[in-house]
Structure 1
């Protein structure tokens, strides 16, 4: 690159909207760390958000219809609703209520708001402030070189999108991103449009949360989903929660754990932090629980090091093998192993080389605790393993999930009541998106069915996932990006690199309900298209529509909003896709987009023809509680088709997690006042953090050895790929965490996660495994940040 071009880039950087939260501290207050989750404080916090959003009556009316039969599905997590009766007091959690409050808000982001506020000025706000502006009311357009978004008609917006798409040299120069909130109907027409346009470039939020689960499970048990139902939690004898924080990420799961515990289940919690939601639960709907201080959840807590999970799992297996040798047939299910698995002998043979002392040391968990866990599992058969992103965002996450499966295969603990695998999905329809073929790697079988039904040739080349899409945008191989929901910028790794990639786009389109930072770091041109929330009435041709979603346990159910829309100028996601398709494809399309535009029932009729398990879709989804999708691993103990219905034992390795003397392992996490990239508040109540997000949790011994003190201000550095990445201005908080391990909040530290730090096989960002250095805060660090921005613009991996 010529010198004058470098100077031009450096000058432009200083005038670009900030890609991250502002580097400023608030007023950190430390309170006590909670030992139990939920209870009355959760109720108060839930209702306080309704008042903050100026929607107490409107919001309260909606809360009592959320997750109820005939109501609407929570826009937050994908935890399932009970199949039978649901609580009349409310089937929602604190974070679900906060998500609803932000949908039901009476605050509005209007064209006048954008006229008064430039993109640059809005970017000076933090994510919390941006998100609290209110609901978007009108489509907005940012012309090339403009400083302010301006209103645009829907027709003109679709005309611009079509113009950009049709001007591409290849359909593969476009990418179509999806968040987990999108309904089955919108997801189906969205992927269909992308395929008729000619590309499989469909990166989605699964690429950042549970792609690892699917990559681990599909080749082994034949399905990339969990194999348990909610009822299984009530019948389990042992529930192992690993790499997951139910109290924040899926609070309603604690009710299921509590019920299982009362029915006799033992709960083992494996996590670097002793999270409140793992330790105890106070059911706010139970007077007895409130008076007695709730129930203890974890019978056994194993404080594993970050990425020490594999060593721990191997240690458990080593002990189980010893127990089985001592009493043959008493620990392992020999019949299941013989009839339903392959590779058992090779799997057992590997343990000749492992030693318990070494595995315990690598895991960070004492031999005594590991032994106690092994004894708990040894005599039981109804065992559930449940995990979250604490596993899936590790570089060897696929192997660790397969190691979990190895334990269940030894025990015959899959495909029976009260047992199996349970990856707990994040966003409310992320699993449904994938079922609807939102997938950059569709199978030939899926494409053959679509091709036979629709009659046009399907693109067969695999598309870009999220990480590959970021690199392709940076290399200008992708020139147009359409985002169906979400906040792509703040959700993705390597923030500086990603931001400079997005700025190279010719057009960035965002379908959104609220303003977020992803609207402020944009392509040469940008569009914001406002749409309905899950709680909004979705009326098409005078008829109130239902949409459908799929929860973490494979139940497809209907959802019908009850609130009047915040604006008369919103369009639902399905119609947005259909109008984009009609504007872009015109007469060359063979799909009846107008038919889909006018009726969700029509979309479901054709889903029924294209995706197995959706027979009689429109009738069954309107039945009480919806219906379960087929799950051969759960229902028939049929696993890998390639292995004749058997499941393979997998051989894996224990990773080397050696750190230099001045290095620490960092994992990113979210606060209790947060869901994905949406910031509801500035507190992390369960961890004792109030009014601050720029904190780093450290072991007190590490703080002392490094010459720091709790409360010190520090800067965080990462050096992957030979590049210096800096996250300035964090406060040290002493916490119960393994030595040499640290935890920070995202998206504030996503800047430290290299785009090349990924999970093997799934290619997900390994945000729970980031090597960092910690240095005392230097006021001159911001010059380094400027240099980092400059380097990111011109040369990065």
Structure 2
């Protein structure tokens, strides 16, 4: 971080010269300016590699530069010329490295050798791959399978993910938490109940045909910037884009396309949102109810805005929901949403005038105590006018990591009913476990209480991504076994268990040469399309192994050889893994290898697109929410308590911090900031630039606080504030999660603000 950070309002658009400068800047810092620009021409191309950052769909006919600012940063971060060899670890104890920042750790570069933690010296020491596999296998055989976790971050490919879940189930458990548990599990619980599938229903073609786009709780400019291109095209066609979001995000306001010479030279900007409604954090259920109420009332008055034919033929529960909307109180809707009746009725008129509406949402919806109900309210809104299962319409949850949705598709789930267990039993001659596994929250609970003894991490920075950071770091050393498969050093690697290994793997951008030649993998994007990905860069070192190769060797060292799983053949030729996936999941993956050759990929099965409803009622379901309050645990803790939203900067992806700037919010050189509205600053006696401490406003026997936060006056709704993730994860209680889905409720954390006595 800078010794002299600055915070000045940013007046420019999303994209533009700021984006171009940022991309070239990180390529230069990683000493990959020329090579990196050449490599980026292969990003998100059919004959190249899928971006390791966001999951937004790759078009069948890509642009010459089919990447965004954050995607380019992710690639530059992976192809860096910097290395972390054994000599680095010999010169630094883990205790010393724990004092480094997240950015500094990853900025050291790529891991090059397998390493084993030495307790006596508190350093990592090199270990031969064969010895690492043997020792890990021996440890796993000693542990109770129920006590071991197989975690997967969202970047692992479909082939890798399939092998990982099979390894876990052959070992004897369904303990397969993944990134989805931290972000879109609310979607995975809500949508099957409402429409019978766990994923969205739209494609890129729907954006080309839609009459209106409604946005809820998703910051496109930072989290999925390539999505700005279809939004820009829609805006230029005159399509209204109505946004509901607590903060005014620049990517949802205006955009200059860095790939357009005319726009870059003239400074031309495209307006993105035609209406922008800054609702309270967690006010989405109330806001959507207001939209639905306005539609029902208009229909009652004779406007005939509801699609009664669709409702009659395709839905269940309409009468109860209609009655609920009619009886709901506008005063309560306004209070909980933070929006006026007039604003909601205005948005409802836009919705009613559109034949087809695409509804987009992100973690601003899912990361609340009532996140599941919030998703189902969005579906209710769409069902009122038949906006699922027709061209130019549908629901579009925007996933974060590039294959987090695909991992679930091929079986990475703690819920046995969602995995093809009967098929796996037939294919591999065993009886797969049927006991419910541990999700992310339950994994954390098990680490803290000691019932989890082993943790295998397929990528990610688990300990930084989860809530209750301090308790997790205190408990982690009590693990017997900690194994991390990774490309770069991060915080989780510095907190060892009794036996700890760090296994370096190839990145997705790198050539994966196996016995039968260079291999490709496949990725599922946010919109359910399956794409090939071929690494094109030279590997960072000769000692790296591919993720499939590491999994195969770990499995062979751990499991008895039944002769039923061809681990070596799979590693030699990943097409054979795809054949196995097709046998396990024929509905989505029939003719897998053949269809993967098609530009633009192929779609997974999504019955709701065809208005086939695989629900208990056989129809799409209207579901009445239990209440409008975002946080039923702490609805009224006092006037000094604010709702904290954790957010990302445009200089990060998940827990990876590329730098200390957030261009769109005018922040330079720091991440220790608290964004708060001027009304609340005056009310609480705060001043711009003051250093404060945040403390979680709950009483459960544990004090949670984060200090040295600089107050920044910002356009934030009254009663709310915002600060960066993962720095504020220590404030989130482990029990503060979405009901049923157990997604950490990071977008509505009750906090108090006090002067920071310990700050300089």
The TM tier, using the shorter chain, reads: over 0.9
Distance 2:389 2:377 in 1: 17
2:638 match: secondary structure: coil
Distance 2:561 2:294 in 1: 66
Query: In the alignment, is the contact (CA less than 8 A) between 2:212 and 2:354 conserved in 1?
Result: yes
Which residue of 62, 86, 103 maps to 1:86? 62
**Residue 610 to residue 562, structure 1, CA distance change in 2 (3 Å):** same
Which residue of 590, 595, 603 maps to 2:577? 603
Note the aligned Cα RMSD (angstroms): 1.5
Distance 1:485 1:650 in 2: 39
Distance 1:444 1:255 in 2: 34
Which residue of 395, 408, 411 maps to 2:382? 408
Deviation at 1:640, TM superposition (A): 3.0
* Paired residues for 1:264-343 under 5 Å: 264-290=238-264, 291-328=266-303, 330-343=304-317
Query: In the alignment, is the contact (CA less than 8 A) between 2:516 and 2:572 conserved in 1?
Result: no
Query: In the alignment, is the contact (CA less than 8 A) between 2:641 and 2:697 conserved in 1?
Result: no
Query: In the alignment, is the contact (CA less than 8 A) between 2:2 and 2:669 conserved in 1?
Result: no
**Residue 444 to residue 714, structure 1, CA distance change in 2 (3 Å):** closer
Deviation at 1:566, TM superposition (A): 0.9
Distance 2:595 2:386 in 1: 32
Deviation at 1:445, TM superposition (A): 6.7
2:705 match: secondary structure: strand
Distance 2:248 2:759 in 1: 36
Deviation at 1:265, TM superposition (A): 1.3
Instruction: Identify the residue that residue 73 of structure 2 maps to in structure 1.
Output: 98
Distance 2:564 2:708 in 1: 55
Instruction: Identify the residue that residue 32 of structure 2 maps to in structure 1.
Output: 55
Deviation at 1:269, TM superposition (A): 0.9
Distance 2:257 2:436 in 1: 46
Deviation per residue, 1:296-328 (Å, 9 max, x gap): 000000010011111111111111111111225
Distance 2:166 2:495 in 1: 28
Matched, 1:671 2:653: no
Matched, 1:731 2:710: yes
2:225 match: secondary structure: coil
Matched, 1:700 2:674: no
Deviation at 1:522, TM superposition (A): 2.1
Deviation at 1:34, TM superposition (A): 3.7
Which residue of 400, 403, 427 maps to 1:426? 400
Matched, 1:505 2:479: yes
Query: In the alignment, is the contact (CA less than 8 A) between 2:677 and 2:714 conserved in 1?
Result: yes
Query: In the alignment, is the contact (CA less than 8 A) between 1:696 and 1:730 conserved in 2?
Result: yes
Distance 2:255 2:696 in 1: 37
Instruction: Identify the residue that residue 466 of structure 1 maps to in structure 2.
Output: 440
Deviation per residue, 1:418-443 (Å, 9 max, x gap): 11100000001001111110000021
Question: Unaligned 5+ residue runs, structure 2?
Answer: none
**Residue 275 to residue 433, structure 1, CA distance change in 2 (3 Å):** same
* Paired residues for 1:417-456 under 5 Å: 417-443=391-417, 446-456=420-430
Distance 1:554 1:577 in 2: 26
Instruction: Identify the residue that residue 209 of structure 1 maps to in structure 2.
Output: 183
Matched, 1:37 2:11: no
Query: In the alignment, is the contact (CA less than 8 A) between 1:34 and 1:687 conserved in 2?
Result: no
Deviation per residue, 1:470-503 (Å, 9 max, x gap): 1111222111100000000110011011112222
Matched, 1:161 2:140: no
Distance 1:780 1:618 in 2: 58
Distance 1:736 1:190 in 2: 44
Matched, 1:537 2:511: yes
Instruction: Identify the residue that residue 525 of structure 1 maps to in structure 2.
Output: 499
Which residue of 125, 131, 149 maps to 2:100? 125
Distance 1:445 1:567 in 2: 36
1:69 match: secondary structure: coil
Deviation at 1:444, TM superposition (A): 6.8
Deviation at 1:287, TM superposition (A): 2.9
1:613 match: secondary structure: helix
Distance 2:238 2:682 in 1: 43
Question: Unaligned 5+ residue runs, structure 1?
Answer: 1-23, 782-797
Distance 1:27 1:742 in 2: 24
Deviation per residue, 1:45-74 (Å, 9 max, x gap): 111111100111221221010011211000
Instruction: Identify the residue that residue 489 of structure 2 maps to in structure 1.
Output: 515
Instruction: Identify the residue that residue 27 of structure 1 maps to in structure 2.
Output: 4
Distance 1:339 1:53 in 2: 58
Distance 1:588 1:502 in 2: 34
* Paired residues for 1:373-412 under 5 Å: 373-412=347-386
Query: In the alignment, is the contact (CA less than 8 A) between 1:381 and 1:412 conserved in 2?
Result: no
1:493 match: secondary structure: coil
Query: In the alignment, is the contact (CA less than 8 A) between 1:382 and 1:419 conserved in 2?
Result: yes
Distance 1:431 1:401 in 2: 17
Distance 1:449 1:378 in 2: 45
Instruction: Identify the residue that residue 568 of structure 2 maps to in structure 1.
Output: 594
Distance 2:270 2:152 in 1: 39
Distance 1:372 1:99 in 2: 40
Deviation at 1:239, TM superposition (A): 0.6
Deviation at 1:120, TM superposition (A): 1.2
Deviation at 1:588, TM superposition (A): 4.7
After TM superposition, the score normalised by the length of structure 2 is 0.97
Matched, 1:661 2:639: yes
Instruction: Identify the residue that residue 758 of structure 2 maps to in structure 1.
Output: 779
After superposing on structure 2, the runs of 4+ consecutive aligned residues of structure 1 that deviate more than 4 Å are none
**Residue 133 to residue 351, structure 1, CA distance change in 2 (3 Å):** same
Deviation at 1:27, TM superposition (A): 2.4
Moved more, 349-358 or 290-299: 349-358
Which residue of 97, 110, 129 maps to 1:135? 110
Which residue of 708, 726, 735 maps to 1:747? 726
Deviation at 1:26, TM superposition (A): 3.9
Instruction: Identify the residue that residue 65 of structure 1 maps to in structure 2.
Output: 42
**Residue 292 to residue 41, structure 1, CA distance change in 2 (3 Å):** closer
Deviation at 1:352, TM superposition (A): 3.8
Moved more, 433-442 or 35-44: 35-44
2:420 match: secondary structure: helix
Which residue of 175, 179, 195 maps to 2:153? 179
After TM superposition, the score normalised by the length of structure 1 is 0.93
Instruction: Identify the residue that residue 742 of structure 2 maps to in structure 1.
Output: 763
Query: In the alignment, is the contact (CA less than 8 A) between 1:196 and 1:589 conserved in 2?
Result: no
Number of aligned residues: 753
Distance 2:131 2:450 in 1: 26
Query: In the alignment, is the contact (CA less than 8 A) between 1:323 and 1:378 conserved in 2?
Result: no
Instruction: Identify the residue that residue 785 of structure 1 maps to in structure 2.
Output: none
Moved more, 289-298 or 149-158: 289-298
Distance 2:711 2:119 in 1: 42
**Residue 228 to residue 775, structure 1, CA distance change in 2 (3 Å):** same
Instruction: Identify the residue that residue 578 of structure 1 maps to in structure 2.
Output: 552
1:642 match: secondary structure: coil
Distance 2:2 2:41 in 1: 38
Deviation at 1:163, TM superposition (A): 1.2
Distance 1:113 1:526 in 2: 17
Query: In the alignment, is the contact (CA less than 8 A) between 1:715 and 1:727 conserved in 2?
Result: yes
1:77 match: secondary structure: coil
Deviation at 1:124, TM superposition (A): 1.1
Deviation per residue, 1:189-208 (Å, 9 max, x gap): 11001000001001111000
1:528 match: secondary structure: strand
Distance 2:419 2:181 in 1: 21
Query: In the alignment, is the contact (CA less than 8 A) between 2:57 and 2:525 conserved in 1?
Result: yes
2:456 match: secondary structure: strand
Deviation per residue, 1:157-185 (Å, 9 max, x gap): 111111110011x2111100000000001
